[in-house]
Amino acid sequence: MICAAVDPMREERFALVLHTGSSAWENGCDVEISSWGDCSYVVHPGLSGGRLMSQKYAFNLSAERLEKLISVIRKVGFFRLKELYNERNSRNCTQRYVKVVLDGESHVVNTRTCSPISEIEDIINAVNELLPQSYPKIQ
């Protein structure tokens, strides 16, 4: 799960947080990218088994770079609801849930999307571009 939340210490910046769990919205996340089931596109290679435990790993992400990430997500059709695959019967799909809050305005996208892996890879590549050079890349 990738979660971008407003940094309370620097209101003009954002923090991009990688963590697990279903309480992302309760934690005030503004953007979340996650996967369930057999698909595990977003993992952290630096932790045991590729799983993020209870810790949170955060770094500052400027509003401009967050906007770039969101624009890339939109570009690859992340918000497009696809019914090409059955969620429970296809291993080539994943459920996606995204919520965006910018400048106090909420843009909620609650979709269960089955997307081809190639589109998800574009999203992951975009996220990796935003990571600091010293930060382990998402695989």
Q: Which one-letter DSSP state was computed for residue 119?
A: H
* Residue type, position 27, single letter: N
Asked whether the whole model's pTM tops 0.75, one would answer no
Give pLDDT < 50 ranges for the chain: 1-61, 76-119
Judge whether 124 and 131 are in contact, CB under 8 Å: no
Q: Which one-letter DSSP state was computed for residue 21?
A: S
User: Count of CB atoms within 10 A of residue 122's CB?
Assistant: 15
| Residue 91 pLDDT | 43
Q: How do strand 29-33 and strand 13-18 relate by DSSP bridges?
A: unpaired
